[in-house]
């Protein structure tokens, strides 16, 4: 399962090296997956793990977070708001990964997105830790790892779909290095 954390949290299902869209093309809409929110009440993954939520937290403290969208390689020192967002996003992503793993036996859960490499690394580490606190008895959980495409993942993935449909036979093949 592949998670792209950008303005909104999004995901894709990769099975046997191929992007799986399902009969309606909406398989992997894990941004809509119910997860516990920071207050413990059910909410959607998109309402916790999206970078828009970090911007909202910064705004609530009187900090202009618009630079999050113009400089994804370097956000500078954000402080407690970033720490809180990582903790909340990691908990929500951990629940989404465990829930997805109860349906499909994924080899890996890849987390990528519109964020600096150090933030992505911290998020992946926090997700790995958060998963250990969830009762996953009976499940073989995937390895959580960082994506390798980063800020360009959505654009490259979106651009590859029409090319794959037009020039390749069968469903879209995804590289294992993603």
pLDDT band at 45 (very low <50, low <70, confident <90, very high): very high
Q: 110-136 pLDDT, tens per residue?
A: 999 999 999 999 999 999 999 999 999
Contacts of 95 (CB under 8 A, 6+ apart): 35, 36, 134
Q: Rounded mean pLDDT of 49-69?
A: 94
157 vs 28, which has greater pLDDT? 28
Question: CATH homologous superfamily of domain 2-167?
Answer: ATPase, nucleotide binding domain (3.30.420.40)
- H or E stretch at 96: helix 80-101
pLDDT at 81: 96
Q: How is residue 119 written in tokens?
A: 């933030």
- Own/partner long-range contacts of 54-59 (Cβ < 8 Å, ≥24 apart): 54/78, 54/81, 54/82, 54/85, 57/81, 57/84, 57/85
Average pLDDT of the chain is 86
- The residue whose two tokens read 């830790």 is 129
pLDDT band at 93 (very low <50, low <70, confident <90, very high): very high
pLDDT at 167: 52
Q: Rounded mean pLDDT of 69-95?
A: 93
Tell me the domain boundaries of the chain.
Answer: 2-167
- H or E stretch at 111: strand 108-113
pLDDT at 50: 97
Q: 132-174 pLDDT, tens per residue?
A: 999 999 999 999 999 986 555 554 455 445 545 555 555 544 4
Lowest mean pLDDT among 26-30, 62-66, 153-157: 153-157
């Amino acid at each position: 399962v592949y998670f792209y954390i950008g303005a909104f949290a999004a995901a894709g299902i990769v099975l046997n090296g191929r992007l799986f869209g399902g009969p309606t093309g909406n398989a992997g809409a894990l941004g809509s997956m119910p997860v516990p929110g920071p207050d413990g009440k059910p909410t959607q993954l998109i309402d916790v793990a999206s970078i828009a939520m970090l911007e909202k937290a910064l705004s609530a403290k009187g900090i202009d977070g618009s630079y999050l969208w113009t400089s994804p390689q370097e956000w500078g020192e954000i402080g407690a708001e970033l720490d809180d967002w990582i903790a909340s996003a990691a908990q929500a992503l951990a629940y989404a990964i465990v829930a997805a793993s109860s349906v499909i036996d994924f080899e890996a859960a890849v987390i990528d997105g519109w964020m600096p490499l150090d933030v992505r690394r911290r998020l992946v580490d926090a997700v790995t830790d958060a998963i250990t606190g969830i009762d996953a008895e009976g499940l073989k959980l995937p390895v959580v790892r960082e994506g390798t495409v980063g800020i360009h993942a959505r654009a490259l993935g979106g651009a590859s779909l029409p090319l794959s449909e037009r020039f390749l036979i069968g469903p879209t093949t995804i590289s294992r290095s993603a």
